[in-house]
Copies of this chain bind each other. A is one copy, B any other.
Amino acid sequence: MGEFPTVTDVARVAGVSRQTVSNVMNTPGIVKADTRARVEAAITALGYRPHASARRLRTRRSSTIGIRLDPMIDGISGSVLDRFLHALTEQADARGLRVLLFTATSPEDEIDQFRRLNDGADVDGFVLTSTTADDPRTAWLLEHDIAFVTFGRPWQENDFTDPSHLWVDVDGHAGLYAATRAQQDAGARRIAYIGWPSPSGTGDDRRRGWHEAMLERGDVSAEELARLEVITTDGVDQGAAAMRQLARTAGGIDAVLCASDALALGAMIANPARVSVTGYDNTPIAAAIGLSSVDQPVDEVAAGVLELLTGEFEGQVSHAPDSASPRYRMVTPRLVTRQFEAIPRDSVPANALVDEVSR
C-alpha cells in the first residue's frame, strides 16, 4: 500500500484547488454541481479519507464525545449503563459521532480528564452518568463552557430549572405509577414496596410513583400503606430479607414492587407464596427469571442525549435561555410484564423428584 492521498492529491486529480475539495466535503451547497461531481469521482477513485487529526487541529472540533466508564461494579446495577453505552455508541455512529471512553478514580481526577480531553480537542463534549446532588463535575464544566449532557436530572432544586444544564432522565415516578396501576388492574390491593433509603433522587422518585398510585385508589389506609413499605440498601440478600420482613409484619400482600431488579430477585427468592414481584431496570436477570420489570428505554435516552448535545455543538455554546427547544428530555419507561416462567408455580417440591431422577 502506498501513502494515503490528501486533499491536494484529490484536487490535482479533479483539476480543482484544495479548498474546493474541502468545500465539497463540508459545504457542498456552495460548489457547482458538475465540479462537485468531478471532485467526488476523484475522491472515490483515490479512496481518499480525510485525516481526522488534521481537521481537528484546524477546526477544534472532533466529532467525538467522551464518557466515563467505571470499573465494573461486579453486577446487576451496571447493566443499565452498559445498555445505555451500547445505544449511545450506535446512535452516535449514525450521526457521524464517535464515543471515547476514559476512566477516573475520583471527581477531581475526572475533572482533570475533562480538561485534558477538551484542551487536546479530543472530544467536543461529555456525557455524564450517575450525577449526584451538588456535583462538582457539572459545576466545573459549566464554568469552563464545555458542552455536556447528563443522563439523570439534576437533583437540586435550583439546578432543575437551570437552562444551561442539559439533561435526559427516565421518569421513575411514572414507571412505578404504571407498575402499581398494572397490579391494581389485575386485582391486587395490598401492594408492597421495597425501596432504598432516602434521600436518593431516583429512589425517592420511584417510591412516590407507587405511593401516589396507592393513595389514589384508596384500597388501603395511609397507616397500612406505611407497613407495606420496607426500606433497605440495594442487593439480592437485602431484597430477600425485606420480603421476609414483609411476610412477618405486613400481613397478606398481593404484589411487591421493588426499586431494583436485585431487590426483586431477592424478594422473589424469599417468596414461597409466589406473589407477583416487579423489579426495575429490566436487567438480563429479570428476563432470565421471568420477572416483571420497569424497562428504561436506553435508546430514547441516547437519542435525547445526542439531540441536546449536538444542538449544543451546532449553535455557539451559548447558554441562551431564549432557545425554543426544551433543555431536557424526560423519557417514560415501559413496564415489561412477565409470568414466572422460570420457576414455575406448579414446580414439584424439592425432594419429590429425587427418586425419579435417580430411579
Residues of chain A having any CB pair with chain B under 8 Å: 1, 4, 49-54, 56-57, 62, 64, 69-72, 74-76, 78-79, 82-83, 85-87, 89-90, 93, 98-103, 115-116, 119-122, 144-145, 236, 247, 251-253, 262, 265, 269, 272-275, 283-285, 287-288, 342-343, 345, 347-354, 356-359
Query: Which listed residue, B273, B288, B352, touches A272 by the CB 8 Å rule?
Result: B352
Contact A4-B72, Cβ < 8 Å, known A342-B269, A350-B272:
no
Query: Which listed residue, B53, B74, B253, B274, touches A56 by the CB 8 Å rule?
Result: B53
A50 surroundings in chain B (CB, below 8 A): 120
21 A–B contacts from the bound complex (CB under 8 Å):
A4-B119, A50-B120, A52-B120, A53-B54, A53-B62, A69-B85, A69-B89, A72-B87, A74-B284, A76-B288, A89-B101, A93-B103, A99-B102, A101-B101, A247-B353, A269-B342, A272-B351, A273-B354, A285-B285, A347-B350, A349-B349
**Taking the nearest CB of chain B, how far is it from the CB of A354, in angstroms?**
5
Contact A75-B284, Cβ < 8 Å, known A272-B350, A347-B350:
yes
**Whose C-beta in chain B lies nearest to the C-beta of A348?**
B272
How many monomers of this protein are in the complex?
2
Task: Tell me whether B284 and A79 are in contact (CB under 8 A).
Answer: yes
